[in-house]
């Protein structure tokens, strides 16, 4: 059982709020402090009892043992060095979907070892504290990157925290994380955004979309409802790997297009059969 600590969560939205619920349920926090730039979100987080108190950033740092950044990755890059400037021996971790840029921004910081770079692989298309989910993170993966660059006590507590809330752990270097995240997460979102734009451009009748859209369409385009303030910075920070997977995805689309243009049903069947092999991995 990891030691109970005073925990400050910077950004009490979907991810931060859902984590707050789990930290409370699993008795990992002796006090939960919220830091929230949006006043309406701050008030809602208190109303929903996601946190015990809302504080300003400096006050929260001074009154916490653990500081968790659950904000868009571009904001983490801006705040992380300054937070490390102000801590003593607190543990600092982030929940961002990219890792290399965050680790790079503090690689020479004298308190770098108090920072643990993590990515809990869970989320929904919704945002804000009202979207916080009970039972989140259960049986999902939590990635810890470049653990050897962090203090052992900090990594030990973070590992135990993730395991206590029901996650299984993976450890890898930041570049490998960003590559894999581009292929299994980021491309899904960018494809969903593009599909939504395609349908909205070509189908001008909102009612027709609403009435005719099947469950397949809904599941494919669901991610297009995701928060742009969160996802645009992820794509930009991970643009090298996102461009790599996007180029491959476009090439695959061109193969399907060529089959249709050439009336080539055999190759079309082959492409679909090849794709069916994903059943081995995803049931």
Select from 172, 190, 220 the last residue of a domain.
Answer: 172
Select from 134, 151, 172 the last residue of a domain.
Answer: 172
Q: What is the pLDDT of residue 113?
A: 98
| In a shared domain, residues 12 and 102 | yes
Q: What is the pLDDT of residue 124?
A: 93
Q: What is the pLDDT of residue 277?
A: 95
pLDDT in tens, 35-44: 999 999 999 9
Compute and round to an integer the Cα radius of gyration of the chain.
21
Say how many C-beta atoms besides its own lie within 10 A of residue 156's C-beta: 16
| In a shared domain, residues 147 and 226 | no
| In a shared domain, residues 54 and 117 | yes
pLDDT in tens, 108-150: 999 999 999 999 999 999 999 999 999 999 999 999 999 999 9
| In a shared domain, residues 9 and 81 | yes
| In a shared domain, residues 141 and 196 | no
Q: What is the pLDDT of residue 210?
A: 66
Confidence of residue 155 (pLDDT cuts 50, 70, 90): very high
| In a shared domain, residues 104 and 167 | yes
Asked if pLDDT for residue 206 goes beyond 80, the answer is no
Say which CATH number the domain at 210 has: 1.10.3660.10
What value does the mean pLDDT take over residues 243-260? 97
8-state DSSP, 2: P
Confidence of residue 103 (pLDDT cuts 50, 70, 90): very high
| In a shared domain, residues 162 and 223 | no
99 CB-side CA count, 13 A: 27
Regarding beta strands 91-94 and 66-69, do their DSSP bridges make them parallel or antiparallel, or are they unpaired? Answer: parallel
Asked if pLDDT for residue 214 goes beyond 70, the answer is no
| In a shared domain, residues 127 and 164 | yes
Domain housing 224: 177-280
Helix/strand/coil for 67: strand
Asked if pLDDT for residue 95 goes beyond 90, the answer is yes
pTM of the model: 0.93
Confidence of residue 204 (pLDDT cuts 50, 70, 90): confident
What token pair was written down for 238? 């991970």
| In a shared domain, residues 141 and 213 | no
Q: What is the pLDDT of residue 199?
A: 85
Total number of domains constituting the chain = 2
Look at 17-31, 43-57, 196-210, 257-271 and tell me which has the smallest mean pLDDT: 196-210
| Nearest one of 121, 97, 124 to 14, comparing CA atoms | 124
| In a shared domain, residues 118 and 46 | yes
| In a shared domain, residues 141 and 187 | no
Select from 133, 155, 172 the last residue of a domain.
Answer: 172
Q: What is the pLDDT of residue 213?
A: 67
| In a shared domain, residues 29 and 125 | yes
Say which CATH number the domain at 104 has: 3.40.50.720
φ, ψ of residue 96 in degrees (nearest 5): -70, 155
Confidence of residue 217 (pLDDT cuts 50, 70, 90): confident
Mean of all residue pLDDT scores within the chain: 95
What value does the mean pLDDT take over residues 189-199? 93
What value does the mean pLDDT take over residues 218-232? 91
């Amino acid at each position: 059982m990891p030691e109970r600590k005073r925990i400050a969560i910077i950004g009490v939205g979907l991810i931060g709020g859902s984590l707050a619920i789990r930290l409370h349920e699993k008795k990992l926090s002796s006090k939960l402090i919220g830091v929230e730039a949006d006043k309406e979100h701050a008030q809602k987080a208190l109303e929903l009892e996601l946190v015990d108190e809302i504080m300003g950033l400096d006050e929260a740092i001074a009154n916490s043992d653990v500081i968790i950044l659950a904000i868009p990755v571009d904001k983490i890059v801006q705040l992380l060095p300054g937070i490390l400037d102000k801590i003593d021996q607190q543990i600092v971790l982030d929940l961002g979907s990219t890792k290399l840029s965050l680790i790079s921004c503090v690689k020479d910081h004298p308190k770098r070892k108090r920072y643990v770079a993590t990515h809990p692989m869970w989320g929904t298309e919704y945002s804000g504290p009202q979207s916080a989910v009970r039972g989140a993170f259960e049986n999902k993966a939590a990635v810890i990157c470049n653990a050897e660059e962090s203090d052992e006590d900090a990594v030990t507590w973070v590992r135990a925290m993730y395991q206590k809330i029901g996650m299984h752990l993976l450890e890898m270097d930041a570049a490998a994380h960003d590559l894999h995240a581009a292929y299994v997460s980021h491309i899904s979102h960018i494809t969903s955004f593009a599909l939504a734009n395609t349908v909205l451009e070509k189908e001008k009748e909102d009612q027709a979309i609403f009435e005719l859209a099947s469950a397949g369409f809904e599941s494919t385009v669901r991610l297009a409802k995701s928060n742009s303030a969160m996802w645009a910075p992820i794509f930009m920070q991970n643009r090298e790997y996102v461009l790599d997977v996007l180029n491959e995805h476009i090439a695959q689309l061109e193969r399907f297009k060529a089959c249709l243009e050439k009336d080539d049903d055999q190759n079309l069947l082959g492409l679909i059969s090849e794709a069916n092999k994903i059943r081995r991995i995803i049931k």
